């Protein structure tokens, strides 16, 4: 155990976050996402909700300031509900960590899967909300 580290962040996830470099991406995947099929490195956090995980990660993880959209959501497929309720929670959490909602992008579903296959890691959660998947692009920590 370490002081100040949320218990939600497993040793495997902390290792992945530390290994990642500037520009690397990590996918936070909901329970429906094909995480094992897409992941180069898979971290399992089954049973954990995405909002709590996102908040815990952002306490330590710098988002990339050199790209317009360091956070990406999976775009809603035409015909599904337009704005998943969990997105409002994400925007509030990201805002509390200093990210303007205008810097949150949306990626078409199949393009999202392609980016997940190239991501440094995929974190599989137990989040049951639809369209709860996120991609975070790592930035730098200034001295």
Reduced 3-state DSSP string for 63-130: ECCCCCCCEEEECCCCCCCCCCHHHHHHHHHHHHCCCCHHHEEEECHHHHHHHHHHCCEEEEECCCCC
With CA atoms as reference, report the closest residue to 135 among 85, 98, 94.
Answer: 94
Give me the active site residues, please: 22, 64, 113
């Amino acid at each position: 155990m370490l002081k100040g580290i949320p218990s939600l962040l497993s040793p495997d996830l902390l290792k992945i976050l530390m290994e990642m470099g500037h520009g690397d991406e990590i996918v936070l995947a909901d329970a429906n996402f094909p995480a094992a099929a897409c992941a180069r490195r898979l971290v399992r956090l089954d049973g954990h909700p995405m909002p709590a995980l996102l908040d815990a990660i952002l306490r330590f993880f710098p988002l990339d300031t050199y790209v317009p959209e360091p956070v990406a959501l999976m775009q809603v497929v035409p015909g599904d509900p337009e704005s998943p309720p969990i997105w409002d929670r994400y925007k509030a959490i990201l805002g509390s960590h200093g990210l303007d909602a205008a810097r949150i992008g949306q990626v078409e579903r199949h393009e999202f899967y392609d980016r997940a296959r190239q991501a440094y890691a995929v974190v599989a959660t137990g989040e049951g909300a639809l369209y709860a998947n996120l991609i975070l692009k790592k930035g730098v920590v200034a001295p």
